[in-house]
A and B are shown apart, each in its own frame.
Chain A
Amino acid sequence: MTASKAAISVRGLQKHFGDKRVLSGIDLDIHAGDVTCIIGPSGSGKSTLLRSIAFLDPYDGGDVHVFGKLIGWRETPLGRERAGARELAEARRSLGMVFQHFHLWPHMSVLDNVTLALRLVHGVPRKQAEETGRAMLEKVGLSTFADRRPESLSGGQKQRVAIARALAVRPKAMLFDEPTSALDPELVGEVLSVMKTLAVEGMTMVIVTHEMGFAAHAASRVVFMDSGRIVEEGPPQTLFATPKSERLSQFLQTWRERAL
């Protein structure tokens, strides 16, 4: 199977919310080390695509393979059935996820946020987990914030903690769902620079974003979606300089006008 060569392989992905079709047949291969930015207008299905890869939104047609494992479903001789919680956790093990609204756990310290999964899921002793946790916080430039509560952090700092939390369990690929959309403009840069460092280190990343500048500079590939379909994809230089489709030209035009 050629599909298994890709880190994340999406085939014929379909998703409905009630009567509304949100994804209509997505094919996408993400290779190890790729930094893929997914762009597109609101409601185009880009966040749903990302959440379907993580099976946070269960898809109802097609396949998503994550490092060779079908995610969310189990093939049986009688057809497909939903994977159990343990199987799903196993398939997700190689994925880290960063959310638009951070979703830190407010009742524990920054360090506990970062180390909880190491201790509970991976059975790492507290002392060792905290060493790893502190190293992760160092990596996102927040080593002095270990004992703080999330409530005392700025949005940008929260998102960097969320990145450290996801990295702590050593995922092989990171999914970012509009990681800077909830931030004040002056805080966007610190988060993007952490992400850029990750990209340079060779982390496989899939990023749903509205940051065209980041997509242009950091992405190895940009995917443009509209109405639940991939309209166009390619290296950022080509895609931004010479869009082939009318829809992408329009989208880029609106974005340029707004940027002025």
Chain B
Amino acid sequence: MSGFVNDIPLYAAGLATTIAVSLLGIFISVIVGIFLALALRSRFRLIAIPARGYIEFARGAPLALVLFLLYYGGPQFGLLLSPHVAGIVGLGLYGAGPFAEIFRAGFSAIPKGEQEAAEMLGLTPGQSFLNIELPQALRVTLPACVGQTINLVKESAVLSVITLGELTKVAGTISSITFAVVTPYLTIALLYWALVETIARLGFYAERRFTVKGS
């Protein structure tokens, strides 16, 4: 038991890393996802087709593969990334595909006439996007985004393969030193659960606060 108490700082550090890396990775996923969703709608094939190709790639590639390519394959192209950066970027690029699909659906759920109304009132396409489309797309996709966020937080466990000291890596390390298996992995299971539960609750709260029915 005293061993467990001694390990608490390790778990705390692992949890902090998992949270930080996931948040930054998901932030990248959302931003890239929005741009991909916009690219999919583009009239120009030169923009729409690569975006579609990227989404297909992200759907087919396991996260571990993306991370290996970035972290171990990157140096061959002069791309030397720390485990943190590779983890964040990898998670971001991997998550961008599903987020793009979510946002594509969200944008297409907004009646075209709402943009026409904005256009007739003189709003520029950019103003219309920021004030009419984006806020509504974010609202209607909120439940799906929460689900995707939870997925990515859980998938961040894979980041241990590139030596990143997040929760799963911490459990592995402790286990290899103490030869205990059940305690470290059950501990991080509880921590993952707490994290996911917190995100889900925040999501419910945000949904209640922001969701609007169509006019």
Contacts and interface: CB of A to CB of B under 8 A. Distances in A.
B122 A89 contact: yes
B178 interface: no
A27 interface: no
B125 interface: yes
Interface in A94-114: 95-97, 99, 101-107
A7 interface: no
Interface stretch (B3-11, B56-64, B127-135): B127-135
A120 B130 CA distance: 11
Interface in B93-143: 111, 113-114, 116-125, 127, 131-132, 135-136, 139
Contact of A151 (B116, B122, B124, B212): B212
A85 interface: yes
Nearest to A95: B120
A93 B119 CA distance: 10
Contact of A101 (B113, B118, B136, B139): B113
A116 B120 CA distance: 12
Nearest to B112: A103
A95 B119 CA distance: 11
A105 B134 CA distance: 12
B124 A89 contact: yes
Contacts of A169: 121-122
B215 interface: yes
A102 B124 contact: no
Given A97-B120, A106-B215, A85 B125 contact: yes
B43 interface: no
B123 to A, nearest CB: 6
Interface in A146-163: 149-151, 153, 158, 162
A54 B120 CA distance: 8
Contacts of A86: 124
Given A99-B117, A107-B212, A151-B212, A117 B132 contact: no
A121 B121 CA distance: 8
A199 to B, nearest CB: 20
Q: Which 7 A-B pairs have the closest CB atoms?
A: A117-B121, A103-B113, A150-B215, A106-B215, A121-B122, A97-B120, A103-B117
Given A120-B127, A121-B121, 13 more contacts: A85-B124, A101-B113, A103-B215, A105-B117, A105-B118, A106-B212, A106-B215, A116-B131, A120-B123, A121-B123, A150-B215, A151-B212, A169-B121
25 contacts: A56-B116, A56-B120, A89-B122, A92-B119, A93-B122, A97-B120, A99-B117, A101-B113, A102-B215, A103-B111, A103-B114, A104-B114, A105-B136, A106-B213, A106-B215, A117-B121, A120-B123, A121-B121, A149-B212, A151-B212, A151-B214, A151-B215, A153-B215, A162-B117, A166-B121
